[in-house]
Chain A
Amino acid sequence: MANLSASLEVATATHSGMVRSHNEDSIAADAEMGLAVLADGMGGYNAGEVASGIAVELVLTEMKKALAGKAPDELTGKEIERLLSEQAAKANGAIYQAAQSRPQYSGMGTTLVIALWHDNRLSVGHIGDSRLYRLRGDALEQITRDHSLLQEQIDSGMISKEQARYAPNKNLVTRAVGIDPEVEAEVHTYPVQPGDIYLLCSDGLPDMVTDEEIQLTLSSLKANLPLAAEQLVQQANDNGGRDNISVILVRVLKDFPARTGWLEKLKSWF
C-alpha cells in the first residue's frame, strides 16, 4: 500500500450546528492511505447517525482491505474508480439491509463523498449533496455536482443560481445511499498539483457560508489547516448553523507518483 502521509496534510472539523441536537454527519480521513470519507445521514431519531456511521466505517475498512498489499502502481485509474463505486454500492446494501430489518431505522439514508488520492491524481465518488471543492492558487472550484432537486432545476434552466440561494427546497436530494436496493455513485478522476487544497463538506457549510467566504477563508488561512477547518465551522454557526457542519481539508504537500523507477530514485538523491 502506498504511504502518502508525507504528501498529504489533513485537518477535520465537525459540529452539530446551532439548531440540531444530534450530529448526523460522519467523517474519516487517513493521510497514509490518501483517503477521505464524509457522509451526511438522514432519518428519524438517531437513524441518520447510524446510516452515515455505517457508510464511513464500511468504506474505511473495505478500502483498507482492498489496498493492503497492493503496490501503488498495481491499480490503474479505472480500477480505482471501480473500487470507489463498489464501496458505495456495499455501503448502500448494508444500510438498506439495516433499514429493512429494524423498524426504527426504516427510511434512513445518507449522502456520501469518497476521495482517494493516488498517483498524482484524485478520484472522487459521490452520492447526494455533500461536496468536494478544490482551492488551486486562489481559485475555489466546486468539483462535485449535487444530486439534488435544486441542481436539477438549475441545470434545466428553471431557476438561476442566484434564485437557488434563496430556494426553499434546498434539502431535497435525488440520490442517497441506503434508500433503494441499488444506487450508483458518480465517480471522476482529476489531476492533482502540489499546493492544492481539497475541501469535503456536508451541505451545512455551503448553505450557511457563500463560496466567496469559503474561498477567502481557505486562501487566508491555508498556512494553518486546522484553524481553517475550525474557522469554516465557526462561520457557518455564526450565520445561523441550521444544520450539522462537517469539513475535511486535505492539502497536497508534494507529488506522489505511483511509479518510482530508477530515474525518479536518482532524482530524489539530489
Chain B
Amino acid sequence: MSKLILSLEGSVIREIPLNKERITIGRKPQNDIQIENLAVSGEHARIMTILNDSFLEDLGSTNGTLVNGNPIKKYILQDNDVIEIGKYKLKYFAAAPAAQTTTRTPAEDMDKTMVLRAPAGARTQAAPAGPAAPAAAAPPKPAAAPSLAAIQILNGPGAGRELELTKNLTTLGKPGVQVAVITRRPQGYFIAHVEGKHFPVVNGKTLDVQAHPLNDHDVIELAGVKMGFFLKTK
C-alpha cells in the first residue's frame, strides 16, 4: 500500500496509509488529514487512490499545493514526490513494486483490461474490483536480441556486398518478383517467403510456407542471387 509521511520543518509528524479511495487534506476537522494552520485552506486538496495509483488534486486552495516545488492542480503521484501545503510537507511513497524475479502473477493482472467507471455521483471507482496489484507493470522489454548477423552476396554484380541485419525485419529480393523476409527473434534468425511464384532456397532446399530457422553459413538463393548468412561475434 502507498503512504504519505507528514512532516514539518524536518520532523516527522505522522504516517498516513493511502487505504481509502479518497483522502482529503485541509484545515477543517472533517478532513482525513487535518492540518491546523492558517496557510492551509479549509478544504485544501484531496488524494484519490485507485488500486496503486494516487492522484492529487488541489481543491482551489488559497495558497496552492506544490509538488516537488511546482504548483499543481491535478497530478499523478510518483514515488518520492514531495507535496507542500503551507509549511507542511507530505512525502509520497508508492507501494513497493513486485520483485521482477519472482512470480509474475500480480503484474499480469495489471495487463488485464478493466473498466474504470464514473457513476452518477462522479465518484471514480475501478470495476470490477480486482485484487489490489502492485503498481509494477514493467514496461515492455525489448526481447533479448540474438547476436548480430549479416547477409553477404556471393554471386553476380553485387558479389561481396554485405548487409547487416540490424532491424527485426529485413526484406530481401525484388518487390513484385520475389521477396523474402528475415526476422530477428529472441531465439535467432528466421527466413520466410513473402511474395512471388518462387520460394527461397536455403542450402539447396526450397522452403515451404513455414518460416525456416537460419544457421551460421547457410546459403540463401533468391531470384537467382546467392547470399551467405553469417553470425557475427560481438
Contact surface of A with B, Cβ cutoff 8 Å: 19-20, 40, 42-44, 106-107, 109, 111, 128-129, 148-149, 153, 156, 158-159, 165-176, 179-180, 203-204, 207-209, 213, 216-217, 220-221, 223-224, 227, 231, 234-235, 238-240, 242-243
Distance of A43 Cα from B113 Cα, bound (Å): 9
Asked whether any CB of chain A lies closer than 8 Å to the CB of B51, the reply is yes
A sample of 17 inter-chain contacts (CB < 8 A) reads A42-B112, A42-B114, A107-B127, A111-B113, A165-B140, A167-B137, A168-B110, A171-B137, A172-B115, A174-B118, A207-B140, A217-B169, A220-B169, A220-B181, A227-B193, A231-B183, A242-B108
Distance of A176 Cα from B139 Cα, bound (Å): 25
Asked whether any CB of chain A lies closer than 8 Å to the CB of B53, the reply is yes
- For A208, A216, A242, A243, the residue with the greatest tally of chain B CB atoms inside 10 Å of its CB is A242
Residue contact B104 to A173, C-beta cutoff 8 Å: no
Q: How far is the CB of A40 from chain B (nearest CB, A)?
A: 6
A149 contacts which chain B residues (CB < 8 A)? 116
With A42-B112, A179-B115, A207-B111 given, is the CB distance from A239 to B141 under 8 Å?
yes
Contact surface of B with A, Cβ cutoff 8 Å: 50-53, 74-76, 104, 107-108, 110-118, 126-128, 135-137, 139-143, 167-171, 175, 179, 181, 183, 185-186, 192-195
With A153-B76, A227-B192 given, is the CB distance from A220 to B171 under 8 Å?
yes
Residue contact A158 to B75, C-beta cutoff 8 Å: yes
Q: Known pairs A107-B128, A167-B137, A171-B112. 7 more at Cβ < 8 A?
A: A158-B74, A168-B137, A169-B53, A170-B111, A220-B170, A234-B183, A243-B111
With A216-B169, A235-B168 given, is the CB distance from A166 to B116 under 8 Å?
no
Residue contact B110 to A171, C-beta cutoff 8 Å: yes
- For B50, B74, B117, B171, the residue with the greatest tally of chain A CB atoms inside 10 Å of its CB is B117
With A170-B111, A173-B115 given, is the CB distance from A223 to B142 under 8 Å?
no
Q: Which 5 A-B pairs have the closest CB atoms?
A: A223-B195, A107-B128, A168-B135, A166-B139, A172-B116
Residue contact B128 to A43, C-beta cutoff 8 Å: yes
Residue contact B115 to A109, C-beta cutoff 8 Å: yes
B114 contacts which chain A residues (CB < 8 A)? 42, 171-173
Residue contact A208 to B140, C-beta cutoff 8 Å: yes
Distance of A127 Cα from B104 Cα, bound (Å): 29
Distance of A240 Cα from B104 Cα, bound (Å): 11
With A158-B74, A207-B140 given, is the CB distance from A173 to B175 under 8 Å?
no
Distance of A192 Cα from B93 Cα, bound (Å): 50
Distance of A239 Cα from B116 Cα, bound (Å): 27
Residue contact B169 to A221, C-beta cutoff 8 Å: yes
Residue contact A224 to B195, C-beta cutoff 8 Å: yes
Closest to A167 in B: B137
Q: How far is the CB of B174 from chain A (nearest CB, A)?
A: 11
Distance of A221 Cα from B44 Cα, bound (Å): 56
A42 contacts which chain B residues (CB < 8 A)? 112-115
Distance of A19 Cα from B103 Cα, bound (Å): 12
The residue that A169 contacts in the complex, of B51, B75, B142, B185, with Cβ under 8 A, is B51
Residue contact B111 to A242, C-beta cutoff 8 Å: yes
Residue contact A240 to B141, C-beta cutoff 8 Å: yes
B193 contacts which chain A residues (CB < 8 A)? 224, 227
Closest to B52 in A: A168
B136 contacts which chain A residues (CB < 8 A)? 168
Residue contact A239 to B142, C-beta cutoff 8 Å: yes
Distance of A46 Cα from B192 Cα, bound (Å): 36
Residue contact B186 to A172, C-beta cutoff 8 Å: no
Residue contact B137 to A172, C-beta cutoff 8 Å: no
Residue contact A223 to B116, C-beta cutoff 8 Å: no
B117 contacts which chain A residues (CB < 8 A)? 174, 179-180
